[in-house]
Structure 1
Amino acid sequence: MQAVMSVAEMNAFMDEVFPQVSGEFEVEHMDGYETVMRRRVKESDLRPGGTVSGPTMFGLADVTAYVATMACIGREALTVTTNCSMDFMRKPSADRDLIARARMLKLGRTMSVTDILIYSEGDEAPVARANMTYSIPPKR
């Protein structure tokens, strides 16, 4: 499977359709099978105990699955999450960005399934794992 958009096109698309989070997420790689994204961690993402919040990690997993799907089908802003399973495995570092590495497991006409591992930048062990299913709107 080949990506139908470049990394630069995807970053511009994300800024266009989600201006409220512009600058928080960055697509670093996508090839239609693997997607790598960065989530810049800031103080408002932290929770008591000096760790990155679960909602921040969920957001990264969700956006990464969205981007992985868009990489394969092109600009389809109304593609939406229909299912998520997420495991929080280790405490992420509060002073480093999060990196998500995703694999497209299935891409059909009406849905995609993506597996995502999230790391604190520079660590080898993942801090979280997610499996996301997206619904793709029918072509009209």
Structure 2
Amino acid sequence: MDKAALAAFLRRDFAQVADDFRVERADETGVCLRLVAQERHLRPGGTVSGPALFALADVAMYLAILSRLGPVALAVTTNCSIDFMRKPEAGRDVLAEARLLKLGRTLAVGDVLVYSEGKPEPVARAGLTYSIPPR
């Protein structure tokens, strides 16, 4: 699935969160997903919350898998480990760069680096495993 197909899938099957995210890129290297940071994503102090960063990493990896397999709505997260390394910049969107490390018949493993827009250092790193339903 390309960038447009992933965005359409998100709008159709996950309308409840589709407005929070924008697919920036989908290619052979992976997916870049933007969290359009709004007040509901902030924690005290004005920074993007950990749960919002987790959601961004999870959705980015999900879309990276779909970019290779097609619209498999029932692929599910089976494991996620996330390291929060820096405070995201207040007032900036957050970008997730997701790449697949292994795509098998039943499991997909990947990693995600999360950045404050315009900053070179990652604010978080996540490793995720997904279960892929039988086709």
TM-score (norm 1): 0.94
Does 2:119 correspond to 1:123? yes
Q: CA deviation at 1:50?
A: 1.9
What is the SS of the residue equivalent to 2:98?
strand
Unmatched 5+ stretches in structure 2 = none
Corresponding residue for residue 102 of structure 1:
98
The 2-side partners of 1:105 and 1:44 are apart by 32
The 2-side partners of 1:10 and 1:45 are apart by 22
The C-alpha deviation readout for 1:49-105, integer Å capped at 9, x for no partner, is 221100000000000010000001001100000000000000001201000011110
Q: How much identity, in percent, do the aligned residues show?
A: 56
Corresponding residue for residue 90 of structure 1:
86
Runs of 4+ more than 6 Å apart = none
Does 2:56 correspond to 1:60? yes
8 Å Cα contact 1:79-1:134 kept in structure 2: yes
Unmatched 5+ stretches in structure 1 = none
Aligned residues, how many? 135
- Correspondences of 1:1-16 after superposition (within 5 Å): 5-16=1-12
What is the SS of the residue equivalent to 2:119?
coil
**What value does the CA root-mean-square deviation take over the aligned residues?**
0.8
Q: CA deviation at 1:114?
A: 1.1
Q: CA deviation at 1:32?
A: 3.7
The 1-side partners of 2:28 and 2:71 are apart by 14
Does 2:77 correspond to 1:81? yes
Corresponding residue for residue 42 of structure 2:
46
Instruction: Out of 66-75 and 29-38, give the one that drifted further.
Output: 29-38
Corresponding residue for residue 28 of structure 1:
24
The 1-side partners of 2:86 and 2:62 are apart by 24
Q: CA deviation at 1:109?
A: 0.5
Q: CA deviation at 1:48?
A: 0.9
Corresponding residue for residue 129 of structure 2:
133
